[in-house]
Amino acid sequence: MTSQVERLGILTGGGDCPGLNPVIRAVVRRASAEGISVQGIRNGWKGLVEKDAISLDLNSVSGILHKGGTVLGTSRTNPYKDPKQLASLKANWTQLGLDALIAVGGEDTLGVATRLVQEKFKIVGVPKTIDNDLSETDYTFGFDTAVNIAMESIDRLHTTAESHHRIMVVEVMGRHAGWIAVHAGMAGGADFILVPEIPIDVEEVCAAIRKRHERGKTFSIIVVAEGAEFSKGQTLQKDRKLDAFGHVRLGGIGDALGELIEEKTGFETRVTVLGHVQRGGSPTAFDRVLGTRFGVKAVELVLKGEWGKMVSLKGNAIVPVSIEAATKKLKKVDMELYEIARIFFG
């Protein structure tokens, strides 16, 4: 135990995700056992820019394990977009007396962490995203909960689709990668799964639907990730507004696809967009355990002074990896897995 950290900050940034509270609880519990005081920075990097922090102790993290969201709040703030914000963040780091920080986030939040580490700030990362698209870790917490919510929705859609002899298109989250679509689609018995990694071939989807009908089925379930495109670079967007990290709001692919399917096959089609329901509510047991293991291990990396490292799940072990490597390139859907899913199309 060498890092001599007395005051540790923790923040959660980017889209919220079930499992964040188990991480916060685990960090406070493990740090307190070492006599380290913890400052909870509110609303991601915004809290450091605005010096908005609260002291966290055993009582403040009691009873939060099963709760979704994050008790610290979150935002998509990129302090590197504005030199004034960055200067204020650095000044507040000193004023809050932070010796080190645990940053819990996805590619954007951890991308900021990478740059701060290059400027010698003492930061350890914890990966989170329901999209499961961060490299260097087999899974991120939040993903399992999202998949289970989507799977349950697909189960429910089956009975109404079957009763009405309809095609149901289900749009799930997944901006750059189709992990939720593939896992929920496989678990829910989808008849076709569309992901951002492969351009949509509407004729192929319709052929699969027709094939089912020819063998007597009168309904089909098609799962589509929100980031799936008809041709490369053509994602459907809700509006053109960009967030601090340059992302647009996605949405609309389900409706566009549903219309085409109905037009081409003549089968009545309905569209369900699951949206933020996939990010809300209580984390699954898997995500609570993973969040807890990540939180404990993150404090252990702080104790060892392993700055610039991120906790990660490899196989069944929690191991340190470089935050920089984890954020360099996104983890896309494994095509071997997709090929297994494809066996069940049609």
Q: 57, 82, 99, 131: which is the annotated catalytic residue?
A: 131
Q: Which stretch binds ligand F6P (CB under 6 A): 57-65, 78-86, 127-135, 196-204?
A: 127-135
d(CA 96, CA 94): 5
Query: Cβ of 18: how many Cβ atoms within 10 Å?
Result: 31
Q: Specify the pairing of strand 37-41 against strand 53-56.
A: antiparallel
Q: Which of 176, 161, 168 minimizes the C-alpha distance to 254?
A: 168
Q: Which stretch binds ligand F6P (CB under 6 A): 18-26, 39-47, 128-136, 301-309?
A: 128-136
Among 78, 129, 148, 235, which residue interacts with ligand F6P (rule: CB under 6 A)?
Answer: 129
Q: Which stretch binds ligand F6P (CB under 6 A): 5-13, 38-46, 125-133, 266-274?
A: 125-133
Q: Does 183 bind ligand F6P (CB under 6 A)?
A: no
Q: Does 175 bind ligand F6P (CB under 6 A)?
A: yes
- Return the structure tokens found at 256: 């566009």
Kindly identify the residues of this chain, within the stretch 225-244, that bind ligand F6P according to CB under 6 A. Answer: 226
The least distance separating ligand F6P from the CB of residue 247, rounded to whole angstroms, comes to 7
DSSP codes of every residue in 169-196? EEEE--SS--HHHHHHHHHHT-SEEE-T
The least distance separating ligand F6P from the CB of residue 248, rounded to whole angstroms, comes to 9
Is 131 among the residues known to form the active site?
Answer: yes
Among 71, 104, 130, 184, which residue interacts with ligand F6P (rule: CB under 6 A)?
Answer: 130
The Cα angle at residue 258 between residues 252 and 260, in degrees rounded to 5? 105
| Angle, helices 20-33/285-304, rounded to nearest 10 degrees | 40
Q: Which stretch binds ligand F6P (CB under 6 A): 124-132, 197-205, 215-223, 294-302?
A: 124-132
d(CA 152, CA 130): 16
Q: Which of 283, 309, 330 minimizes the C-alpha distance to 142?
A: 283
- Asked if residues 331 and 313 have their Cβ atoms less than 8 Å apart, the reply is no
Q: Count of alpha carbons within 13 Å of 243, Cβ hemisphere only?
A: 15
Among 75, 109, 124, 131, which residue interacts with ligand F6P (rule: CB under 6 A)?
Answer: 131
Among 40, 174, 188, 254, which residue interacts with ligand F6P (rule: CB under 6 A)?
Answer: 174
Among 9, 15, 18, 19, which residue interacts with ligand F6P (rule: CB under 6 A)?
Answer: 15
Size of the site for ligand F6P (CB under 6 A): 12
| Residue 130 or 147 with smaller CB distance to ligand F6P | 130
- Residues annotated as catalytic are 131
Residues that bind ligand F6P (CB under 6 A): 15, 106, 129-131, 173-175, 226, 249-250, 279
